Chains A and B, each alone.
Chain A
């Protein structure tokens, strides 16, 4: 079973690589923001899989922290300061 799970992780990592390439090929900031979101979700998925494969419970905490702070990061990037551009 572990082999199958690991194969899925490998495919997820491949998707990660491709979405990174897409992100780099885009020039607009918002498109990149989107790619960051995709990478974040993929990262969480990979962490969850690795937690099961490697039997490391601590990775679940890491995933929780990643998810929570992703919101903070997006908020910081998209908020606009008073009296000026973004």
Chain B
């Protein structure tokens, strides 16, 4: 019961950060700032959702795979953020006009 409550709490927190990322995408004035919002808020959202689900899994192997997914998602989002930042920077510098 306590575990269930804890997991609900974590899931709600995760949702909150997902919605924050969405709001950031909507409200932040420039694209770099939106990239900041997405990278940070989304990772935290996914991490919290994953932690919340950890209390609901049937066995340890599930838990290991959950953590693996999250770790990879962290790496992926860091790389994605970097790639997009470079792309954006190149556009702003005027090397590439194909916006």
Q: Do chains A and B touch in the complex (CB under 8 A)?
A: yes
Residues of A within 8 A of B (CB): 1, 4-5, 8, 11-12, 15, 18-19, 22, 28-31, 33-35, 37-38, 41-42, 44-45, 48-49, 52, 55, 57, 60, 63-64, 67-68, 70-71, 74-75, 77-80, 85-86
Is A48 a contact partner of B76 (Cβ separation < 8 A)? no
Is A86 a contact partner of B98 (Cβ separation < 8 A)? yes
- Chief secondary structure at chain A's binding surface: helix
Q: How far is the CB of A71 from chain B (nearest CB, A)?
A: 5
A78-B86 in contact given A1-B4, A37-B80 (Cβ < 8 Å):
yes
Task: Mark out the residues of chain B between 66 and 99 whose CB falls within 8 Å of any chain A CB in the assembled complex.
Answer: 66, 68-69, 72-73, 75-77, 79-80, 83-84, 86-88, 90-91, 96-99
Q: Count chain A CB atoms within 10 A of each CB in B11, B58, B66 and give the residue with the most.
A: B11
A85-B98 in contact given A8-B15, A48-B49 (Cβ < 8 Å):
yes
Is A64 a contact partner of B49 (Cβ separation < 8 A)? no
Is B84 a contact partner of A38 (Cβ separation < 8 A)? no
Partner of A70, one of B4, B14, B80: B80
A8-B90 in contact given A38-B25, A74-B80 (Cβ < 8 Å):
no
| A/B interface sample: 15 pairs, CB < 8 A | A4-B11, A15-B22, A18-B22, A31-B31, A33-B87, A34-B38, A41-B73, A45-B45, A45-B46, A57-B62, A64-B68, A68-B76, A70-B76, A74-B79, A74-B84
The number of residues on chain B lying at the interface, defined by a beta carbon within 8 Å of a beta carbon of chain A, is 49
Q: Tell me the nearest residue of chain B to A68, going by C-beta.
A: B72
Q: Tell me the nearest residue of chain A to B32, going by C-beta.
A: A30
A64-B69 in contact given A12-B15, A70-B80 (Cβ < 8 Å):
yes
